[in-house]
Structure 1
Amino acid sequence: MHTILLCGGSGQRLWPLSGSIRSKMFLQLLPAPDGGTESMIGRVCRQLAHAGLDGSVLFVAHQEQLAITRRYTGNKYPVIGEPYKRGTFTAAASGALHLHSTGKAKPEDIICVAPADMYADEDFFRLFHQFPDILASSQAELLLLGTKPAYPSDQYGYIVPAQGGREAYARVLSFAEKPDIAKARELMQEHALWNCGIFAFRLSFLLAHLQKIGLPTDQTAFVAQYPGLPVRSFDKEVAERSSKAAVVRHEGEWSDLGSWDTLTARLHSPVIGEGGLWGDCRDTHVVNELNVPLHVIGVPGIVAIGSPEGILIAAKKDANTIKDILQEHSVKAPMYGETGWGSYTVLDRTANGTSLVLTIMLTLLPEHGIPEMDGQHAAKTWMIVSGHGEVAVNGAAAAASAGGIFTMTRGERHAIRAFSDMKLIEVRISEPGDDGRVYGS
């Protein structure tokens, strides 16, 4: 069986920590077995390995997140990039066609598609081993994994299974996508399951579906059509149209941690970062990435979140509204980003006539570096704050350590590599023609 993990979501409900540059799966907040913290994607990788499912894993991410995905997965698994975000169906098809075109998967092989940011117990992943046998015994064309709801929720989709059988699976009767609370209660009375976004099928099933809707089964041709493809979810495009779908039931722990109330319930402390809680602050959490303290006094049931992107103060029950706000209002250029080589924070943006002056804090990981750039539309100055490494300008390398200053005029080729943890301040004067990107992967 081949497992395709999808990394497409931006997690707007977890703003200001999560966004288009750093998705929620990369947030290093969850308690780890060693007493430290881990990301959602790191936790999933650890659990897949523990369950013996890491033999054939493929990650599908947006092309701008290739490097950060490789970094957070420890460079242990292949990662392919989508040129555009076109939904879970398109991402899954791209991954499956990659496996097919490279000869790693044959038409009769089982493909399992799953989100890379799921949060579940160990038994959840052990159920994956049953998928090949259940697909064979049930004669289903599609297999889903659902979990018993812990409470009526309007944030999850539901799967309604047939009742009465003793098998390890049940036939799927219908689906309900994020119903209101009253309908969710009715669905729970019908023994409906939360839809975990897990799909298993034979590769030949997906190839036939692509042909049916007029899409190529050749990966190169499929990727060439990306710009014109609509956004399609696997649920609506495949699952809800299938008359031969079955579901496996899970009764343990599962959540997608897609909102502040579900994520904070998993944190090891009510205060992360600079700040504190004082007085009656029951069920209040502070998560602060800023270097200024964030204190909450006598306000229960809220989240107080600080990052370079902004500050969110919200009642937990209302915090999901931030997604609607972000969609209704234009969002400024990202102030923080993570890459394969480290991270950056935009400290200041100042327009100066036709130029834009950016002041950026760069943090480089040991033995990582920013590849050579030509600086065609920008002049830069780098001031090393801490650590040591090497800066190359027009091919000439020089040692770089705290206090060092390097200036690159427009058109000069330049690169930097860190030998230890390294911080530097960049002042960039961007001229017309600059693509506006702070830094890529």
Structure 2
Amino acid sequence: MTQILPVVVCGGSGTRIWPLSRESLPKQFLPLVGSQSTFKTLLSILASDAAFAPPVVISNHDYRFLVAEQMAEAGVEGEIILETAPRDTAASVAVATELALRRSPDTIVGVFAADHAIADAVAFETLCRRAAAAASQGELVGLAVKPAYPATEYGYMQPTGALASGLSKIGAFVEKPDAATAARLIDEGYLWNSGDLFFRADVMAGEIATHGPELAAAARASLDQAKPDLQFLVLPAAPFEATPAQSIDTAVVRKSARAAMIVGEFGWADTGNWPAVHALSPRDERGNSVRGDGIVLDASNVFIRSEEGLTAVIGVDNVVVVSTGDAVLVANAEQAGKIRDLVDQMKRAGRREPLEHKRIYRPWGYYQSVDHGARHQVKRISVKPGGKLSLQKHFHRAEHWVVVKGIAEVTLDGTISLLKENESIYLPIGCIHRLANPGEIDLEIIEVQTGGYLGEDDIVRIEDIYNRN
């Protein structure tokens, strides 16, 4: 069998994992389970098996540098396609299908979500090969999982009519039922829908043309109009604006006579909410799970994720407590599904906490606010080796930079100087300046801003190696 072309869909915002997951740094890039993100874990699994070709990652334009950085950290090379107007998985799969079709009509494509946990890599790889072999015969093959409990956060598929190679036709789809319905579905033999999908490019292209011709046309136009930007391929927004935002299951698979499933046990779970993460985490004899600096006394089924400072829980059962540098969540585990509603409420109130963390990541490193007042702000700035901020100026603030680690290359109105630890420089309002790290270790500086307006939009970029506006 020829190699499987893995397509990793990596664009969700993960609002139900707030306050750890936020729009600027969503859950697929975070180490929710284990020491690395689910995205990097998936990349490593795909790279370890010769059955898979180098991946195609389809992501939101805002996450392009996070995707590129984590792919580099995983030692994986592949193609990164960016959507400027996300339209759910139907649009992503339509683009992947058109891309694969242009390579070869018989290309076998495997579509994977970046935010799913996979505990048994060997079993997963074996099941993928079986699914790909069935897909080569013309089926649209979804990976099904035997339910462990009546989950309300997953989709379900009904197996009916056994096919060759251990496949079953899909009789019905049910998306995120209530608890009573989920229990009934399990009794009736329904299986969890992992969302992973395998197909031959020409077969899926035909199904999309039949059930979603507007998707097919938009995908062709998107790839025809796509433009390279650094190591990325950027899709235009316009072709998909008129198409409905929907999943590939809703748009095509559940309408197709070719829809089939194959069931396997590979330790799958969707890290869609905090109870799901709790279930995947190490727990003590009372069901308590603590990650970070946390203490539980006289309580059971408590999940603690403490990112900063001590978090203590006494005498309260079935709770989720997540503490970050600027927000604390305390929720009844049974009510954790309402976190998305909470996030929406905060957005309507204009709060920044659903959008970004105190630490803001950039392609060159990160910055973190330490203190701020009416006319001042103090930041900690870390620049990776070789990293370089944009050449810029500000209309409303001056800056003082103090080097605390590494060597800083500072451009100030055309003059370049090197600063070592404990050295500093003053950047007056309106000067043209840039900070870069020419060294081999991370550069860390403390920046003190003073002025009448300290917003991040007071930046005029003159030149930027990352092609940001």
- Decide whether the 8 Å contact of 2:14 with 2:21 is kept in 1: yes
For residues 164 and 143 of structure 2, what CA distance do their matches in structure 1 show? 17
Instruction: Determine if the alignment matches structure 1 residue 310 to structure 2 residue 327.
Output: yes
Deviates more, 1:174-183 or 1:314-323: 314-323
Q: CA deviation at 1:68?
A: 1.0
Q: Shift in Å at residue 134 of structure 1?
A: 0.7
The letter of the residue matching 1:272 is: R
1:147 — aligned with what? Answer: 145
Judge conservation of contact 1:285–1:302 (CA < 8 Å) in 2.
Answer: yes
Which residues of 2 match residues 99-118 of structure 1 at below 5 A? 99=100, 105-118=103-116
* Equivalent pairs, count: 424
2:252 is the alignment partner of 1:238: yes
**Which residue pairs with 1:84 in the alignment?**
85
Answer yes or no: is 1:383 the counterpart of 2:402.
Answer: yes
Per the TM alignment, residue 351 of structure 1 is displaced from its structure 2 partner at its CA by: 5.4
Would the alpha carbon gap of residues 407 and 241 (structure 1) be closer, same or farther in structure 2, given more than 3 Å must change? Answer: farther
CA deviation string 1:201-231 (max 9, x = no partner):
2222444425722435141347342455442
State the match for 1:132 in structure 2: 132
Q: How far 1:88 sits from its partner (Å)?
A: 1.2
Q: Compared with structure 1, are the counterparts of its residues 169 and 436 closer, same or farther at alpha carbon in structure 2 (3 Å cutoff)?
A: farther
Query: How many angstroms does 1:192 deviate by?
Result: 1.1
How many angstroms does 1:245 deviate by?
Answer: 0.7
In the other structure, the counterpart of 1:319 is: 336
Deviates more, 1:428-437 or 1:372-381: 428-437
Q: Which is further off, 63-72 or 211-220? A: 211-220
Over 3 Å counting, the alpha-carbon distance change for 1:349 and 1:320 in structure 2 is farther
CA contact (8 A) 1:158 1:177 kept: yes
**Alignment-derived partner of residue 34 in structure 1:** none
Q: CA-to-partner distance for each residue in 1:33-92, whole Å, 9 max, x for gaps?
A: xxxx11111211222223334423111111111111111122623222111222111123
Q: Secondary structure at the match of 1:38?
A: coil
For 1:437 and 1:10, the matched residues in 2 are separated by 26
Question: Which position in structure 2 is the counterpart of 1:404?
Answer: 423
The Cα of 1:399 is off from its aligned counterpart by 2.5
Equivalent residues of 1:207, 1:217 under 8 A apart: no
1:190-339 aligned within 5 A: 190-208=188-206, 209=208, 212-213=213-214, 214-218=217-221, 219-221=223-225, 223=236, 224-268=238-282, 270-273=289-292, 275-290=293-308, 292-330=309-347, 331-333=350-352, 334=356, 335-339=358-362
Aligned equivalent of 2:434? 414
Letter in 2 for 1:361: R
Partner in structure 2 of residue 374 of structure 1: 392
Q: For 1:243, what is the secondary structure of its paired residue?
A: coil
2:19 to 16, 23, 28: 16
Give the 3 Å change call, closer, same or farther, for CA 125–350 of structure 1 in structure 2.
Answer: farther
**Which range is displaced more, 11-20 or 372-381?**
372-381
The residue aligned with 1:392 is 411
Whole-angstrom distance in 1 between the partners of 2:444 and 2:460: 16
Contact 1:346 1:360 in 2 (8 A): yes
Partners of 2:240 and 2:372 in 1: CA distance:
34
Of the structure 1 ranges 81-90 and 393-402, higher mean CA displacement relative to structure 2 is found in 393-402
Shift of residue 163 of structure 1? 4.7
Contact 1:30 1:268 in 2 (8 A): no
1:153 is displaced (CA, Å) by 0.8
Letter of the 1:90 counterpart: A
Q: CA RMSD in A?
A: 2.9
CA distance in 1, matches of 2:164, 2:219: 40
Cα pair distance change 1:204/1:393, threshold 3 Å = farther
Kindly tell me: are residues 341 and 266 of structure 1, through their superposed partners in 2, closer, same or farther at Cα, counting changes over 3 Å?
farther
Query: Alpha-carbon deviations, 1:253-298, whole Å to 9, x = none?
Result: 110111111213333573333x3314213332322222x3222233
Distance 1:107 1:376, change over 3 A: farther
Q: Distance in 1 between matches of 2:141 and 2:265?
A: 17
Secondary structure at the counterpart of residue 313 of structure 2? strand
Q: 1:413 and 1:93, CA in 2 relative to 1: closer, same or farther beyond 3 A?
A: farther
Which residue in 2 is equivalent to 1:343? 366
2: CA distance, partners of 1:145 / 1:298:
41
Whole-angstrom distance in 1 between the partners of 2:164 and 2:242: 46
| Aligned with residue 72 of structure 1, among 70, 73, 87 | 70
Using the alignment, how far apart are the partners of 1:53 and 1:393 within structure 2?
52
- 8 Å contact kept, 2:396–2:458: no
Q: Aligned AA for 2:417? A: A
Q: Is the 8 A contact 1:393 1:415 kept in 2?
A: no
TM-score (norm 1): 0.86
Report the CA distance shift for 1:438/1:151 in structure 2 as closer, same or farther (over 3 A).
farther
Aligned pair in 2 of structure 1 residues 85, 166: CA closer, same or farther (>3 Å)? closer
Query: Displacement of 1:368 after TM fit?
Result: 4.1
* Native 8 Å contact 2:100 2:109 kept in 1: no
Contact 1:13–1:258 (CA under 8 A) maintained in structure 2: yes
Identity of aligned residues (%): 25
SS of 1:277 mapped into structure 2: strand
